[in-house]
Structure 1
Amino acid sequence: MKLYAPSTIKQIKEQYDFKLSKSLGQNFLTDKNIIDKIIEDSFIGEDDLVIEIGPGIGVLTAAAAEVAGKVIAIEIDRNLIPILKDTLTEYDNIEILNQDILKTDLNQIIESNTEIDGRKTKSVRIIGNLPYYITTPIIMKILEEGVKADSITIMMQKEVADRIKAEAGKKAYGALSVAVQYYCSVASVANVPKEVFVPQPKVDSSVIRLDIRKDKPVELFDERVFFECVRAGFGQRRKTMLNSLSGVCGLSKEAIAQVMQSIHIDSMRRAETMNIEEFALLANEIYNYQRG
């Protein structure tokens, strides 16, 4: 069964009287080339555990199951569970969970699957076609909770992907860019036009792969201080760093000016010009200043 075919999607909707949920951002991919590209660029192997977020009717799930040791598909819509059990019935290496990804302990799932068919699990790959409205919370949950995965290959709204990939000095560069790039190296996989979805969304999508870093790109004395500086810096983008950071970690405007002067960063700069190394330098100096 070609699950990606529009005719199959129509047949499944009619057979199960299934109505697509706008609130859950359900848009089903119909381009096999994109499906193959996602699987190929996820580097899934026969000893790997794949965790899929939002399998829908099982298009990516089936493709992943062909090459993975085991696939765990996490779907929030209970109306899709019987459909998934039907469309994926030929695969014995798929487990379907009716859960909310934001409330799911992914590390517990990983720890329960350290072996696949008696062989040690080699890598953990997360894949998915994420609902636009909840993309950022899902990504940051995985990264901030320290989920023991090797990579995350996901489709999202192109605008969000552009923000994640953006470098300092670019218009799209912001707090999300810094946060994701601190935890991961980012690779582009594919741009996906809106025309290859059912129903068709209003905007184009992109697929990116986030390879979770074993070693962070900068050394931090305190991650909390670093992210507080990043959030404050981008909180009001038009302000200078001096004004944006006033009050960060309880420091006065004068103290911030002193800190920035000591590390030779112009306090009149804006956050969008600051790269991750400069944010780290700033955060570490603020940490030292706090401790006298």
Structure 2
Amino acid sequence: MNFKAPPKKSLGQHFLTDRGMIEMIVLAVNPQPGDLLVEIGPGQGAITLPLLRKHGQLTAIEFDRDLVVPLSQAAHGVGQLTVIHKDVLEVDFTRMAGEEKLRLVGNLPYNLSSPILFHALDHAAAVRDMHFMLQKEVVDRMAAGPGSKVYGRLSVMLQAYCSVTPLFDVPPAAFRPPPKVDSAVVRLVPRTPETIGVDDPKRFADVVRAAFGQRRKTLRNALMGVATSEQIEAAGLRPDARAEQVEVAGFVRLANLPSAERVEP
């Protein structure tokens, strides 16, 4: 394997090296014949090559051009690896899936994890599941419930469209170089359209963003210009409640009210 370039701090690179953790990730993904596996940020192939050995075929999206050739060389004789040199935020997963559904895998760069998650969410209808390694603090936020100190916009947006299951923690020593934070692996399974219940995704996103924009404010004040007190009550919510007290279904009900988008500030 010809990976000579050191990890690039500018790209937030921390390469997974712990074989036990790699095995756990591959077992969690559990690729089956016919699966369309797509890995985001393969790095030096720590997860790529074991998945290739197990599945035989994989598409990897890598932004660092210095890793493209070494990755392809490392995969020679292991399986069919297609490396796409591109920013993952510019990749159209829906087009890539075609008539099938993708299975996304990745050790996401911590400085880009939220944008990548929201990008994947935009293409959720073309995705069967996702297994991502992220900063543990982010995974905690993703899976948090109402009343938790870390329950917020990320929690609501992801849980509205996916089931979120934290799988296991990964210590800093499992990486080179070791990050300064703990990591965790999470499984996201997109919900079927009929179980999501969001009438207008943009309106839903606007309501959630406004509600959590200023956490200390009540819904009545935070949603000024987005929803009236009467509408908040019509959704079964208390205008004097704060966003972190509202369950996902409550935000869905509020966003689905017909006139919510036409309220004037």
Q: TM-score over 0.5 for the alignment? A: yes
Instruction: Choose from 25, 32, 57 the match for 1:70.
Output: 57
TM-score by length of 2: 0.92
Q: CA deviation at 1:260?
A: 2.3
1:42 touches 1:151 (CA, 8 Å); kept in 2?
no
Match of 2:10 in 1: 23
Q: CA deviation at 1:109?
A: 2.3
Task: Provide the C-alpha distance between the structure 1 equivalents of 2:75 and 2:45, rounded to a whole number of angstroms.
Answer: 7
Match of 1:58 in 2: 45
Match of 1:281 in 2: 253
Q: What amino acid does structure 1 have at the position aligned with 2:97?
A: I
Question: Superposition pairs for residues 1-292 of structure 1, below 5 Å?
Answer: 12-13=2-3, 16=4, 18-111=5-98, 124-146=102-124, 148-215=126-193, 217-248=195-226, 256-285=228-257, 287=259, 290=262
The runs of 5 or more residues in structure 2 that have no matched partner are none
Residues 46-81 of structure 1 deviation map (CA, whole Å, 9 limit, x = unaligned)? 221110001111111111112225200111111111
Q: What amino acid does structure 2 have at the position aligned with 1:230?
A: V
* Count of aligned pairs between the two proteins: 263
**Structure 1 residues 224 and 105 mapped into 2: Cα distance closer, same or farther (>3 Å)?**
closer
Task: Provide the C-alpha distance between the structure 1 equivalents of 2:194 and 2:10, rounded to a whole number of angstroms.
Answer: 36
2:203 touches 2:261 (CA, 8 Å); kept in 1?
no
Q: What amino acid does structure 1 have at the position aligned with 2:157?
A: A
1:167 touches 1:177 (CA, 8 Å); kept in 2?
yes
SS for the counterpart of 2:253 is helix
**Structure 1 residues 70 and 262 mapped into 2: Cα distance closer, same or farther (>3 Å)?**
same
Q: CA deviation at 1:228?
A: 1.2
Q: What amino acid does structure 2 have at the position aligned with 1:176?
A: L
Q: What amino acid does structure 1 have at the position aligned with 2:117?
A: I
1:51 touches 1:71 (CA, 8 Å); kept in 2?
yes
Q: CA deviation at 1:225?
A: 2.0
Q: CA deviation at 1:89?
A: 1.4
Q: What amino acid does structure 1 have at the position aligned with 2:7?
A: L
2:72 touches 2:81 (CA, 8 Å); kept in 1?
no
SS for the counterpart of 1:72 is strand
Range that drifts further, 261-270 or 181-190: 261-270
Identity of aligned residues (%): 37
Task: Provide the C-alpha distance between the structure 2 equivalents of 1:289 and 1:143, rounded to a whole number of angstroms.
Answer: 22
SS for the counterpart of 1:50 is strand
Q: CA deviation at 1:264?
A: 4.0
SS for the counterpart of 1:66 is helix
Q: CA deviation at 1:132?
A: 0.1
